[in-house]
């Protein structure tokens, strides 16, 4: 029994069944399987016309999955890496900035829960929040315990 190769459309749908992908992500992942020039673009155009590829849903998916654990900067980098339109990324970042302090407090509370006892502990907590992509002002406010809402 001969094994039939999976079509580009089949591969794209398999990727899309797992999570939302941007067009740029699909192009990057499927390019090695393109046998004739232009075939991949036609497949992606067809999927976009049927609304299988939707940048708005990609943005919402990333925000939903990542905003509880990551800061605005890390999420912005992730959205940019997906090849999304700069306007869509800027709009998402603006929305995230409004909740950054609350999100940072929650991440900090789950990890540490108590104010740092000394400078070493303070540095550790600040580095942790920075590695998650939170901004400097936000980190300072959370770790210092000031401005509790």
Report the alpha-carbon distance of residue 21 to residue 78 in Å, rounded: 12
Mean pLDDT of 88-112: 95
Residue 62 or 145, more confident: 62
62, pLDDT greater than 50:
yes
Q: In the chain, what percentage of residues exceed pLDDT 90? A: 88
Q: Which residues make up the CATH 1.10.10 domain(s) of the chain? A: 7-53, 54-98, 100-144
The answer to whether 53 and 41 have CB atoms below 8 angstroms apart is: no
| Higher per-residue confidence, 74 vs 6 | 74
Q: For the domain 7-53, what is the CATH code?
A: 1.10.10
Answer whether residue 88 shows pLDDT above 60.
Answer: yes
Q: Which CATH number fits domain 100-144: 3.10.180, 1.10.10, 1.10.760, 1.20.120?
A: 1.10.10
Task: Tell me the average pLDDT across 69-74.
Answer: 96
Per CATH, which fold does 54-98 belong to?
A: Arc Repressor Mutant, subunit A (1.10.10)
Residue 136 CB contacts under 8 Å (≥ 6 apart), including other chains: 130
Q: Is the pLDDT score of 45 beyond 90?
A: yes
**What pLDDT shows up at residue 6?**
82
């Amino acid at each position: 029994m001969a094994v039939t190769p999976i079509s580009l459309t089949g591969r794209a749908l398999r990727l899309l069944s797992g999570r939302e992908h941007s067009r740029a992500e699909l192009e990057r992942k499927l390019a090695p399987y393109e046998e004739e020039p232009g075939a991949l673009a036609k497949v992606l155009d067809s999927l976009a016309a049927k609304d299988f590829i939707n940048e708005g849903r990609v943005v919402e998916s990333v925000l939903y999955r990542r905003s509880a654990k990551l800061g605005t900067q890390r999420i912005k980098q992730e959205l940019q890496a997906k090849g999304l339109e700069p306007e869509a990324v800027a709009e998402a970042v603006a929305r995230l900035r409004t909740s950054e302090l609350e999100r940072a407090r929650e991440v900090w509370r789950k990890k540490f829960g108590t104010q740092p006892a000394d400078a070493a502990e303070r540095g550790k907590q600040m580095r942790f929040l920075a590695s998650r992509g939170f901004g400097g002002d936000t980190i300072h406010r959370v770790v210092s315990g000031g401005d509790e809402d």
